[in-house]
């Protein structure tokens, strides 16, 4: 076998190993090491590839964004800002048809802008929003579906862990990726809200029967301000600092984490022991992501050594495929892999294969990152491995709501995501307008 054939087999081997349950970085590193060894016939070359990948990952300055934004997200959760965001949104939408669903989407969007985690959003709003909707006679499938659908905003609206991972794989600016995620994130949020209103009018049985919202409590202006100002301050500081150029992404993460700690201390919602456990958890998450990025770099170098990206580029050019056909193949691949793998695995496996082709076509790699993340995020809502759906089911622990209910409830939102993805592919300016 030649290097190209070995490279192709390595991609399939990684997918199979991850699907069988092997830890993603171990699968990437193991297959990459063996592939380089086989192609070169020298184990020392495989060790050198690994050494360079580890060195680049550890010394990358922008990697500091990961522990800082992770710490900020954990402190925000400790401070109870998720509940406050939901209360404010619920009060604002309480007189609107299907208002709690819209409030959940809005709260998730805001929560995403200060945590950047779909899993955290799914966990927090499952506890807060689902019981509230069930109490007001909303359909249980809609209740869990809207939480699952809106939780994916955490990976699109910055700061987002997936955007950071993509920026390392594609060697793009973290700040550019954050700015590019703002408009698509807002478009998806608006699409969800409009869709909920349309479903309430045209498909009321999906929303629920005899919904009671008249007795929903309202917050006065002072209460809304007290609950909203910490969230607004964090968003302005982090995203405003990056957008104006006043702060780099690393500095914005540090400033956001510091402000989140001050808010948690002012609210007396965190003890010294709780703060220490938060730091330890931040370390665990950071170490896991560092290993992931390091092995992804090793994998990318292995693919380059095999010449697989260039071979794929030449093959597609030989077929004379249009931009539409190439993006159709890419999106279909993302959707299929999304039913089997998590978002990080898809990004790390697929992006190195296509990035040479996209760059050769003169397309923006920042735009391509947004397309990639949204396409992979649809997989969070689709069986058999819809991670957000599993998180919601396990968090609820309600025998009356099955995993099937969660998947069926989230299906309309997966369709909406796909529609927004098509729009973003058709109009790349929506992703790059703020750059």
Q: What pLDDT tens digit does each residue of the chain (435 aa) get? A: 667 777 778 888 887 887 787 888 888 889 889 988 888 888 888 888 888 887 776 677 777 888 888 888 888 888 888 888 888 888 888 778 788 889 999 988 888 887 777 777 788 888 888 888 888 888 899 999 999 888 888 888 888 888 988 998 888 888 899 999 999 999 999 999 999 999 888 888 888 776 765 566 677 778 888 888 888 899 899 888 888 888 888 899 899 999 999 988 888 888 888 889 989 988 888 888 888 888 888 888 888 888 877 777 777 777 777 788 888 888 888 888 777 777 887 888 888 888 888 888 888 999 999 999 998 888 778 777 677 788 888 888 778 888 888 889 899 999 999 999 999 999 999 999 988
The pTM of the full predicted model, rounded to 2 decimals, is 0.86
**First-to-final CA distance of the chain:** 44
Count of positions (residues) in the chain: 435
- Concatenating the DSSP letter of every residue in 145-177 gives HHHHHHHGGGGTSSS-HHHHHHHHHHT--HHHH
Write the CA distances from 364 to 45, 404, 415, 433, integer angstroms.
33, 39, 25, 12
C-alpha neighbours within 13 Å on the C-beta side of residue 137: 12
Q: How far apart are CA 165 and CA 258, in angstroms?
A: 23
Q: How far apart are CA 384 and CA 380, in angstroms?
A: 10
Locus of tokens 């790699």 = 365
Cα 379 vs. chain centroid, distance in angstroms? 11
Nearest to 18, CA basis, from 380, 342, 391, 373: 342
DSSP-based three-state secondary structure for 383: coil
């Amino acid at each position: 076998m030649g290097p190209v054939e070995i490279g192709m087999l390595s991609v399939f081997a990684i997918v199979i190993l991850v699907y069988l349950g092997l830890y993603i970085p171990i699968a990437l590193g193991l297959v990459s090491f063996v592939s380089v060894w086989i192609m070169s016939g020298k184990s020392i070359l495989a060790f050198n590839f690994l050494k360079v990948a580890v060195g680049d990952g550890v010394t990358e300055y922008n990697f500091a964004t990961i522990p800082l934004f992770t710490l900020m997200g954990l402190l925000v959760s400790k401070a109870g800002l998720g509940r406050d965001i939901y209360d404010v949104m619920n009060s604002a939408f309480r007189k609107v048809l299907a208002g709690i669903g819209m409030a959940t989407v809005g709260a998730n969007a805001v929560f995403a802008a200060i945590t950047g985690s779909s899993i955290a959003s799914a966990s927090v709003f499952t506890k807060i929003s689902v019981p509230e909707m069930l109490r007001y006679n909303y359909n249980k499938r809609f209740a869990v579906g809207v939480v699952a659908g809106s939780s994916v905003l955490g990976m699109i609206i910055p700061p987002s862990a997936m955007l950071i991972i993509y920026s390392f794989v594609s060697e793009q600016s973290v700040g550019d990726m954050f700015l590019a995620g703002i408009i698509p994130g807002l478009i998806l949020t608006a699409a969800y809200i409009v869709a909920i209103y349309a479903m309430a009018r045209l498909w009321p049985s999906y929303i629920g029967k005899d919904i009671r919202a008249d007795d929903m409590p309202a917050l006065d202006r002072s209460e809304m301000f007290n609950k909203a100002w910490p969230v607004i301050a964090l968003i302005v500081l982090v995203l405003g600092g990056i957008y104006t150029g006043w702060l780099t992404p690393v500095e914005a993460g540090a400033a956001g984490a510091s402000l989140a700690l001050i808010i948690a201390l002012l609210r007396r919602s965190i003890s010294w022991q709780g703060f220490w456990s938060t730091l330890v958890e931040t370390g665990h998450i950071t170490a896991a992501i560092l290993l992931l990025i390091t092995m992804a770099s090793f994998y990318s170098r292995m693919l380059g050594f095999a010449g697989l990206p260039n071979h794929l580029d030449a093959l597609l050019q030989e077929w004379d495929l249009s931009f539409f056909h190439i993006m159709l193949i890419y999106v279909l691949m993302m959707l299929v892999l999304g039913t089997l793998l998590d978002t990080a695995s898809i990004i790390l496996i697929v992006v190195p294969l296509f990035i040479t082709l996209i760059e050769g076509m003169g397309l923006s790699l920042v735009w391509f990152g947004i397309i990639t993340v949204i396409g992979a995020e649809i997989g969070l809502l689709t069986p058999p491995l819809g991670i957000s759906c599993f998180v919601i089911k396990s968090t609820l622990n309600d025998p009356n709501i099955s995993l099937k209910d969660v998947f069926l409830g989230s299906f309309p939102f997966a369709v909406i995501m796909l529609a927004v993805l098509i729009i973003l592919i058709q109009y790349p300016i929506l992703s790059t307008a703020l750059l």
